[in-house]
Structure 1
């Protein structure tokens, strides 16, 4: 009788292990983590010269976009200040800039 109760328990533990492995692998692939083989060798993603060049281009584009975003933030700050300042103060600052 006891053997009958333990075999389903072992089957459930085995199934849970396989499902956990599948979910873990899916999450690693989804988030771009490298997959490893049975001996620790990297399976995916395979790094090539094309991948390295693409990463370099994306990094430089990211730096350019961050610089552009900084400039836009500065302009937005100036426009907000103009929109919320009193008329006399803004006129005085413009006159000061003309002289």
Structure 2
């Protein structure tokens, strides 16, 4: 192996060891550790949210809100169907239906 190849491999090795050392120091002192994709992981992260009860409550609230919005959408779809029918029907029948809706 020539001196040039050895030099390149030494630079790569030193960079890798330096990255490992800084990651170890950051993790040891509680700083977030970055991964190779730019994300970070906090010290002691085990995949579980420390705010689990609040997360469950948020899910329940969002589920309730979702059901309410689905109901609204279905009522609006029914109203739009009536309006489309009124817009495409003959004038006499349309006038009777409009009067019935009042």
User: So what's the TM-score if we normalise by structure 2?
Assistant: 0.51
Structure 1 or 2, whichever has the larger Rg, is 2
Q: Show CA shifts across 1:57-86 (max 9, x none).
A: 221111111111111111112112212333
> Which of 47, 52, 60 matches 2:64?
60
CA RMSD of aligned residues (A): 3.7
Structure 1 distance, partners of 2:78, 2:38, is 44
More helix by share: 1
**Alignment partners' CA distance in 2, 1:78 and 1:8:** 74
Q: Is 1:83 aligned to residue 87 of structure 2? A: yes
Q: Does 1:42 align with 2:61?
A: no
2:9 paired residue among 6, 11, 27: 6
Distance 2:82 2:71 in 1: 17
Alignment partner of 1:25 is 2:39: yes
Kindly report structure 1 stretches of 4+ aligned residues shifted beyond 6 Å.
Answer: 35-38
What is the TM-score with the length of structure 1 in the denominator?
A: 0.52
Structure 1: gaps spanning 5 or more residues: 27-34
Q: Judging changes above 3 Å, is the alpha-carbon distance between structure 1 residues 57 and 3 closer, same or farther for their aligned structure 2 residues?
A: same
Alpha-carbon distance change, 66 to 36 in structure 1, aligned in 2, over 3 angstroms: farther
Count the aligned residue pairs.
80
Listed as ranges, the gaps of 5+ residues in structure 2 are 24-33
Relative to structure 1, the CA distance from residue 79 to residue 8 in structure 2 (aligned partners, 3 Å threshold; closer, same or farther) is farther
